[in-house]
Structure 1
Amino acid sequence: MIMQRLRSVTKYFMWVVAASFILFIFFGFGSNILQRGEERKGNLIAEVNGDGVDYREFSYRLSKDINLISGSIGIDPLRERILSDQIINELIMEKILSGQINKRDIFISDKQVIDIIKNSPPREILQDSTFWIGGQFDYNRYNELLRDPRLREFINNYAERIKNDLPQRILGGEVTSLVRLTQTEIMENLMEDSIKLKLEYIRIPVDEWVEDEPLSSPEEFYYTHKELFRREGVVRLGYVSFPVKVDDIMIAEVRDIAKSIIERAENVPFDTLIGIYSYYLRERKLYYGWTSTEELPSFLTSALLGVKIDEITEPILSEEGFHIIKLIGRERGRLNLKEIFLPIFPSAEVYMNAMTEAWSLVKTLRSDTLIGIPDKYSERYITYGIGYIPDIGVDFGTFLDDPRKGKVSHPLAGEDSLYVFWVEDVDIGTPPFSTMKEEVEDTIKIIEASVRAKKYIYENLPDDMLIMYPEKGAWYRTPYFTLNNYTEKGIDLPDKIVNFAFNLREEMVSPPIRAGRDIYVLKVIGRKAPSSDEIAEIMPGYLGRMQMIKQTILYQGWIYDLRKNSDIKDWRSRLYE
């Protein structure tokens, strides 16, 4: 069950887990932290176990990252805000890990750093083809580069990356060094990954058999089945979104920039213009070289009709922005293209208007006189389990660390909107019957209806085959799947039913089994298991992968506990007021 445990644990505080495990696995994560003098609370944007995160640390890293991703028309204000939150999250996590590094007395000497620099070139150098001769890295040329005074800043930055990253890698190694796989775990997970089933099943909703009133006493049922109504920690969040939209003025401004780039192309090489002006796209690489016409989006295919070799198109508008294409060559079924891309994003004015409106709601929600959400806002609600992150594309920072009824967030950033959240309610433990009566009655009705539905199945369906066109419900057939990939295969079955299926004999028709508001009857029509030779072939690599997965589970759980038990004060909202 290692894979199922991994899927479960990775839901916990994803910004914490993701950042920390990347630090453990990959080299080169993180950046310099400025030296600080005496700290004052007014200069802090967060505090972790009494150790402050100074504004200068944050500002330095933010400006450095913005310089890397901004271009000829600046940066999307929403993306800058999201980047800002990510950096604060990273700084908080680094403070937590730094405390553990100091506690374990993990230290990297200057000599170790120098040895690493000499023997392990940074990624930027390793990817530079000029340092490779005959398939071998040229260390003589690399050593000449290290002695070049013009590159002192680059080398110093690399040294700082090593000082920041290597202790965290050592920490991760120490935490996971005692992880071992048991024989039982190996066999269980091998079976989960390699045994494949193919199912036929009938699904029958029980709603048709639901009566208006339950036959059993709701109160008696509640007290004899309280475990059914226990809440492990469920939070109901309310929220209002404030869209940050692109306006016509920004579209016109970017179109004018695109036209000026085309004019410059008369005297400036197109490759130079790409380097100066072009942004990266989110979903694909820029077109540069031969591309199949079948892979081109229709809006580009249409725009390139009639364009001659070495000609440059007019600015081409898409949902993402403006594209400028130079046609270098044309052959049957493919084109040689070079592309400049200019994104269109909301103006700073539009962003600030949305921010002002969002803060207005925050202040209203935090006021003592509020009775209900003002009518002008369209609120929505979601529920999630404590310790998990709602999957709605918003960076919650530390807002969900300690959910309390009535708690209100500052404006949070999403992909195309700002959001204000508030905790509507928190359910932990088993609520009293007085608040659960309707849910208890509904549960009894479903259970009683499932008994009637099963009676119908026993009386009307054969027990040795599944009817393809049953009078009630519907018949389905799945492709082959394993316990670990059935959701990826698009198989819409509850976990309970999938686990039950793997315990059935081939060609056996199961008794009816309820999951939620549906009754299922299953038949295994195919089962595939690897041969002993196939197992022997895959086992070495499989063991390594399982070891890494188990280390991941342990490390993420350890990080989650560290994060949960840290005293964190988060004042980032000061940046956005």
Structure 2
Amino acid sequence: MPGVAEGGLMIQKLRKQITVFLWFAVGIFVAFIFFQWGMQFTGSRALTKRQKGIIGEVNGKPISSTSYNNLVAGYMEMGLTEDEAGDSAFYTLVEATILRDFYQTTKLIPSDKEIVEVIKTNPPPEILRDTLFYTNGSFDYLRYAEVLQNPQNVGYFRQYEALLRDALPKQRLSTYLLSTVQPTPIVNEYLKRNTIFTAEYGEVYIENIPVKFTEEELQEYYEKAKDYFKRPPSRLIKFVKLDLSPSLEDERLLIEEAKDILAQIQSGMSFDTLAYRFSDDAKTKKEFGYLGFVKRGDIGKELEDVVFSMSKGEVKGPIKTEEGIYILKCKSKRGNSVEILQIFLRLTPSYETRSMVMEKAVSFIELTKENGFEKAAEGMNLE
């Protein structure tokens, strides 16, 4: 059967040709791999970390110059000097890297699925407070779902997502740390401070009890109870008080910070987001600046006059008080009440002010060595 024989020869011939071709391909592939390794080896040896755009490492994680430069630019837009912005940006990136490693180790970083679930079940504060989303006094999640599905709202919920990705790990970290505290000492301290009891007692004044004793009896008692009358060594202390209060420059800088925040609000930034980022009031910070409805008499006079002169949606500030600076937003009005959001910046002594007080204290100590305590205090007008 010549056809079959010819077919068998053809197949054998093709097999030989394919075998040669495969070995040729393998040779080229291996050569290409060694070529790539060589390129990577020589290339990585030639480039320094700085040339690769790496300015530092934290726990083996690189900090890129791009991230650093972007953050510096953002801080400088907020009014910081170039040096201040550089320091703040570097510390922020280092802290973020350390926290991110810790979050990953302890599995505190929420997954994309968890973020989506939180957004679905926990509306943003401003939506949760909006009466348009309520039906028969209850929040209407169907209306909220319509807003979620509207493509025009993607940008808004991207901001909310970014806020959650920052806030949720911190919230979980707080819960994690609290779970490591033994409850017994806390419970005991709480009971010690808050336990109330009722008692009946009678007052007896020792001077009303007639006691007669001789000098010998008094001496005998003293000899037996000498230890009771012992007193630990004591010293007569003289001191001066140096006032550590915020300076006028501290106040000026805080007002400038408030003005920068106001400018961001006027440029379209969300008041809620800025309150969460900048407010020093721990309670309202967690609520994205939400203070609630206030009536006359609920807040200080300097704030009350401003609050009840505001119209719905209006933002006012900076408002100076003894504690610090306020920026207020009128959410709504209802009868004699005003619904308010706030950003509070606490007025505290700056690093420079503390340094000046410390230098003054050191100068006083040196002066006491030369002139004595009283003259040094008098010379520096200290009491």
Shorter-chain TM-score bucket reads 0.3 to 0.5
- TM superposition score normalised by structure 2: 0.41
Identify the structure with bigger relative contact order (alpha carbons < 8 Å, sequence gap 6+): 1
Larger strand fraction of residues: 1
- TM superposition score normalised by structure 1: 0.29
Larger helix fraction of residues: 2
